[in-house]
Amino acid sequence: MPEVTYREAVRDAMSTAMRRDDDVFIMGEDIAEMGGSMGVTQGMLQEFGPERVRNTPISEMAIVGAGIGAAMAGMRPIVEVMYQDFTTLAMEQIVNQAAKHRYMSGGQLKVPLTIRTQGGAGWSPGAQHAQQLEAWFLHVPGLKVVFPSTPADVRGLLWSSIYDDNTTIFFEHRTLYGIKGEVSEEIEPVELGKARVHREGEDVTVVATGRLVHESIAAAQEAEKDGISVEVLDPRTLLPLDEGAIIASVEKTNRCVVAHEAIVRMGFGAEVAALVQERAFDYLDAPVARVGARFCPLPFAPVMEEYVIPHAEDVLAAIKRTVGRNGG
């Protein structure tokens, strides 16, 4: 099986879809000659031309909205929002338009749009270039939300998002573009709404997303040295969420930690904690522990940024806290 980077896997899903399907095209800022600010779309202009690889002005509302209109007209556009922080400019189009047209029309319309965006800290971009805002979109019926952590998942899930008949907000993590992983020759679609267990374990379930999947696996390996057996589960799709997989795992381990780079307060972990205590209350031997960014904007100075965002040690500490606690 070939090894590709996360970045190449994203490109491969888009290019393969565009080769087989004229209705698929991409729009975004600096995605043409420059190949995107993260280099994801490199070479696509040369292969598909400027009509299907559309460089746009700095107009987040209009490019997301143009994607909505093209999707309503039967195409399957992919819009790139350069940084997740700029989705704040497109919230009206995403939340009031893309998510609701099907519903408001009583089922007449569908909006098969994929909005790719990226974010993530660890490189001192400052407060407006690395936020993790995925939690907001889980509060919006009509959207699907995907956040893959490996090359194979990002390729298979992007494929499924492109061919899903609903609007998908597709989150990529800035610091994962360079990681490598094996993928199949042919694209294997990954079904939206299915979690993946990266590592089986008996003592505690760590539900992790994005970069924290890798930090959690590292933490699990550390914990093993102390005889703690950790199951690491990546939901991959946050909406719809594979609640069954999470609950089944917690019913086995009786303990749960949830980890993401986003801020803890009102983050995805809050929903997981609420769900787990609702659905597995009698199984829980300890409270669900949350790991995430501290409650402040992202600071510039590396020493402060390092302190604000979570790392393997933070997951490990939460694992030990949770496992060490006496049953409730």
Partner 1 sequence: MAIAEQKGQSVSAETLKDFLREMLLIRRFEEMVEERFRAGELPGFLHVAIGQEAVAVGVCRALEDGDVIASTHRAHGHTLAKGTHPNEVMAELYGKLEGCSHGYGGSMHLYDVERGNLGANAVVGGGLPAIVGGALAFKLRGEPRVAVAFFGDGATNIGTFHESLNLAQLWNVPAVFVCENNHYAESTPSKQQLPIEDLSKRAEAYGMTAMTVDGQDVEAVYRTAQEALAHARGGSGPVFLLAETYRLTGHYVGDPQVYRPKEEVRELRQTQDPVEKLRARLELSDDEWTELDREATDIVEASVEFAKNGTDPQPEDALKNVYA
Ligand X SMILES: Cc1ncc(C[n+]2csc(CCOP(=O)(O)OP(=O)(O)O)c2C)c(N)n1
Q: Which residues are catalytic?
A: 60, 129
Our CB check for a copy of itself shows the closer of 136 and 171 to be 136
Our CB check for ligand X shows the closer of 89 and 127 to be 89
58 binds ligand X (CB under 6 A): yes
Structure tokens at 102: 């099907």
299 binds partner 1 (CB under 8 A): yes
110 CB-near residues (< 8 Å, 6+ apart) = 71, 72, 102, 165, 166
Instruction: Kindly tell me which residue out of 49, 266, 274, 296 binds partner 1, with binding defined by CB under 8 A.
Output: 296
| Binding site partner of 271, from ligand X, partner 1, a copy of itself, none, Cβ cut-off 5-8 A by kind | a copy of itself
Taking the complex as a whole, the smallest distance from the CB of residue 226 to a copy of itself amounts, in Å, to 23
163 binds partner 1 (CB under 8 A): no
- Indicate left, alpha or beta for 227 from its phi (over 0: left) and psi (-120 to 50: alpha): left
Instruction: Kindly tell me which residue out of 12, 29, 203, 215 binds ligand X, with binding defined by CB under 6 A.
Output: 29
Taking the complex as a whole, the smallest distance from the CB of residue 306 to a copy of itself amounts, in Å, to 17
Our CB check for a copy of itself shows the closer of 217 and 289 to be 289
Task: Tell me which stretch binds partner 1 (CB under 8 A): 11-19, 72-80, 169-177, 178-186.
Answer: 72-80
Cα gap 42→26, rounded to integer Å: 12
Task: Tell me which stretch binds partner 1 (CB under 8 A): 47-55, 149-157, 210-218, 267-275.
Answer: 47-55
Q: What are phi and psi of 57, to 5 degrees?
A: -70, 175
Of 302, 309, 248, the C-alpha closest to 280 is: 248
Taking the complex as a whole, the smallest distance from the CB of residue 63 to ligand X amounts, in Å, to 10
Cβ atoms of 7 and 40 closer than 8 Å:
yes
- Look at the block and give the residue holding tokens 């909005």: 115
Taking the complex as a whole, the smallest distance from the CB of residue 244 to partner 1 amounts, in Å, to 18
| Binding site partner of 201, from partner 1, ligand X, a copy of itself, none, Cβ cut-off 5-8 A by kind | none
- Burial call 190-226: b when 16+ CB within 10 Å, e when fewer: bebbebbebbebebbbbbbbbbbbbbbbbbbebbeee
Taking the complex as a whole, the smallest distance from the CB of residue 21 to ligand X amounts, in Å, to 28
Taking the complex as a whole, the smallest distance from the CB of residue 139 to a copy of itself amounts, in Å, to 4
Our CB check for partner 1 shows the closer of 78 and 276 to be 78
Q: How many residues bind ligand X (CB under 6 A)?
A: 6
Q: Which long-range contacts (CB under 8 A, 24 or more apart) does 51-58 make?
A: 51/25, 52/18, 52/25, 52/26, 53/25, 53/26, 54/25, 54/26, 54/27, 54/28, 55/28, 55/29, 55/30, 55/31, 56/27, 56/28, 56/29, 57/29, 58/29
59 binds partner 1 (CB under 8 A): yes
Structure tokens at 320: 């030990």
110 binds partner 1 (CB under 8 A): yes
Our CB check for a copy of itself shows the closer of 34 and 274 to be 274
Maximum CA extent, the chain: 62
**What does the binding site for ligand X look like in residue numbers (CB under 6 A)?**
29, 58, 60, 82, 86, 89
